[in-house]
Chains A and B, each alone.
Chain A
Amino acid sequence: MGKATVIPFGPQHPVLPEPLHLDLVVEDETVVDCMPQIGFVHRGLEKLVETRDYNQFIYIAERICGICAMGHSLGYAETVEELMGVEVPKRAEYLRVIWHELSRIHSHLLWLGLAADAFGFESMFMHCWRLRERILDIFEKTTGGRVILSVVKVGGVARDIDAGQMSEILATLEGIKSDYGALMRTLLTDSSIKNRTVGVGAIGYDDAVALSMVGPFARASAVNYDVRSFGRGAYGDLADFQPILDNQGDCYARVKVRCLEVLQSIDIIAELAAKMPAGDIAVPVKGSPADGAQASNVLEQPRGECYYYARGNGTKHLDRMRMRTPTSQNLAGMATALKGCDLADVNMIILTIDPCISCTER
């Protein structure tokens, strides 16, 4: 065994455009310990809730993260609705889930591209992002925005998707499905990809449970936990929803779970589009949350379970709004997964966890 050396990794590193710093303690080429450090981009967004009313804050909530923008506005709106006892029309629930699942597809495709780039498969990166672009086109057509959609509001949604647009979306997704099938076959069967991912950064079921991991990171270690399976909102109307699981817990399993989740999301959208009820897309919301009223909420973001909390003070401003993002929950898991790995695998392991540091720090 060689002498222990500390190698600093990040906050600016070519493999990860996220401000995450790691102190990697290495002996020879093996990482023996790891200390994660964040805190470079804390923007104090939760504090802003004190100076914006609860309708305005939704636009700040969706700026927490560029990839989970739709998810954050949805999670925030659901929490405030819970706080004020607002019942959202069924059609709005369906539309919200359709946009949310589209953003899951776009997030996973973006991630698959970044992962391919990390193990040096640049053409795969281009192909994944080419498909993602078509999802962003759907967003642009239906909401006017490509990243920040501003389509969810407290009490419902701001825009409707008519039957013509819906059939266009379904046709686009059907087109993506065949292209994506070819990409997925390569991702899951190519030997050079398997060499980089199989058996790397494995976390067993027991560790995953003890570390309270969430999202595809946990599901790749056979933890059967997906907030969508609680059947809230439009998810309750799905004929059958089973979380996608794998029991290997390594980088390959995490790639596989995300790959299959894209197809699952396409199926969810197709099913909900067929069942779409008619009616209003929003209800008017009046008044303010009561003094001392509090509500919590969980939502399955592309990266995993996200927790929201709100407390009212009798005014239009909330006393506190809190988002606990999936990445902050997975930091402990990440530090554990890195222990014992090769130095060259560090980037692969971090990427397959799909950390989002700006979400985490808010």
Chain B
Amino acid sequence: MGFRQDFEPLALSELHGFAESRRAEGWRYVQTLAVLTEEGVDLVYSFMKDGHLANSVVSIGRDAVVPSISDLFLAAFVFENEIHDLFGVTVEGIAIDFEGSFYQLANEAPMTILSPEQAAAREKARKVAAAKAAKAAKEAGGASDAPAAEGGLEAKLAAMDPEKAAKVRAAMEAKAKKEAAAKDAELEERLKAMDPEKAAKVRAAMEAKAKRAVSAEEGGE
């Protein structure tokens, strides 16, 4: 007997009827679990027959009411009480309903609480994935947007009256210098607020970085 598994989506309205047909066809009930998602919760119902592990994924919102299948499979009462206590999912008509006291917990629905570190890690992963996708798209697309914009500015300046163009250039440089100076001032202020020992360390690190950048440039040339 071989083994295979699959995942299929299932609508919440079809859940009870689906479980009924599985029971009639002689499938064995394996388990129910919940996964926290951005929009709500995914419930995974698993059934097994002849080595085929079939998982049905029911995506629900935060305030959805889920019908119990413990009238068909009594073993489901454990998992339905569990997803109620840990994920805050409302399950209606559980054969043995503990009404929220199945687990003795300090927090309500602890599996839905995301720590700030966890949320930050997920945000970072999302950004990295987006950057990777953008890079891939850029490589696939050939010409990119940013250099085109710069090129556009240069073309505009070239088309202008040379005196005016020089003025614009000078203004842009002055603006860049001013911004850099403001940044330096801000940094200086922050360093002053810091513990002197730490500030010294930060300064040394910055100098080293600048030196490295210069030497890299020289090496490059």
A39 / chain B contacts, CB cutoff of 8 Å: 101-104
Cβ contacts under 8 Å, A295 to chain B: 5
**CB of A104 within 8 A of chain B?**
no
Q: How many Å lie between the Cα of A309 and that of B126 in the bound state? A: 23
Q: Contact string, A308-323, partner B, CB cutoff 8 A, digits 1/0?
A: 0101011101011010
Residue B147 lies at the interface, judged by CB distance under 8 Å to chain A: no
B110 & A296 in contact (Cβ 8 Å cutoff):
no
- A2-10, A223-231, A249-257: which lies at the interface: A223-231
Query: How far apart sit A236 and B122, CA to CA, in the bound complex (Å)?
Result: 39
Which range holds the interface residue count of chain B?
35 or more
Q: Which residues of A contact B137 (CB under 8 A)?
A: none
B125, A229: Cβ atoms closer than 8 Å: no
User: Is the Cβ of A361 less than 8 Å from the Cβ of B103?
Assistant: yes
**With A42-B104, A317-B121 in contact, do A229 and B5 touch (Cβ < 8 Å)?**
no
A87–chain B nearest beta-carbon distance, Å: 16
A38 at the interface (CB under 8 A from B): yes
- Tell me which residues across on chain A come within 8 A of B117, comparing CB atoms: 51
Distance (whole angstroms) from the CB of A355 to the closest CB of chain B: 12
CB pair A320 B36 closer than 8 Å: yes
Q: How far is the CA of A161 from the CA of B115 in the complex (A)?
A: 42
Decide: B2 and A230 in contact? CB cutoff 8 A.
yes
Given contact pairs A42-B104, A322-B33, A229 touches B1 in the complex (Cβ within 8 A): yes
Instruction: Count A/B pairs, Cβ under 8 Å.
Output: 106
| Residues B84-120 near A (CB distance < 8 A) | 96, 98, 101-105, 110-111, 114-115, 117-118
Find residues 14-59 in chain B having any chain A CB closer than 8 Å to their own CB. 28-31, 33, 35-36, 44, 46, 48, 51, 53, 55
Q: A117 near B: Cβ within 8 Å?
A: no
- Knowing A42-B105, A230-B2, A294-B7, the reply to whether A329 touches B35 (Cβ < 8 A) is no
Kindly identify which residue among A50, A210, A296, A317 contacts B55, using a CB–CB cutoff of 8 Å.
A296
Closest B residue by C-beta to A218: B28
Q: B115 contacts which chain A residues (CB < 8 A)?
A: 50-51
Closest chain A residue, CB of each to CB of B113 = A47
Q: Considering the chains assembled together, what is the distance between the CA atoms of A314 and B35 in angstroms?
A: 16
CB <8 Å contact, B29 and A212? yes
Does B60 touch A at the CB level, under 8 Å?
no
Known: A229-B1, A296-B5. A47 touches B110 (CB 8 A): yes
Contact of A307 among B1, B30, B104, B114 (CB under 8 A): B30
Chain B hits for A314, CB < 8 A = 125-126, 128-129
Interface check A331, CB cutoff 8 A = yes
- Supposing A42-B103, A42-B104 touch, asked if A225 and B74 sit within 8 A by C-beta, the answer is no
Are B78's CB and A328's CB within 8 A? yes
B55, B75, B125: the one within 8 Å of A211 (CB): B75
CB-contact partner of A332 in B46, B78, B128, under 8 A:
B78
Contact with B along A261-298 (1 / 0, CB 8 A): 00000000000000000000000000000010011111
Residues of chain B within 8 A (CB-CB) of A209 are 28
> B31 and A319: CB pair below 8 A?
no
- For residues 109 through 164 of chain B, which have their beta carbon under 8 Å from a beta carbon of chain A? 110-111, 114-115, 117-118, 121-122, 125-126, 128-129
| Given A296-B44, A307-B46, A317-B121, 4 additional A-B pairs, CB 8 A | A40-B104, A212-B73, A291-B125, A315-B121
Give the interface of A toward B (CB within 8 A).
35, 37-40, 42, 44, 46-47, 50-51, 209-213, 225, 229-232, 291, 294-298, 305, 307, 309, 311, 313-315, 317, 319-320, 322, 324, 328-329, 331-333, 335-336, 360-361
Instruction: Please give the residue numbers on chain B whose beta carbons come within 8 Å of chain A beta carbons, in ascending order.
Output: 1-3, 5, 7, 28-31, 33, 35-36, 44, 46, 48, 51, 53, 55, 73-75, 77-79, 96, 98, 101-105, 110-111, 114-115, 117-118, 121-122, 125-126, 128-129
Residue contacts A-B, CB under 8 angstroms, 20 given: A37-B98, A46-B111, A47-B110, A47-B111, A50-B115, A211-B75, A212-B75, A230-B2, A230-B51, A231-B1, A291-B125, A296-B7, A296-B55, A307-B31, A307-B46, A314-B126, A315-B125, A317-B121, A328-B79, A331-B75
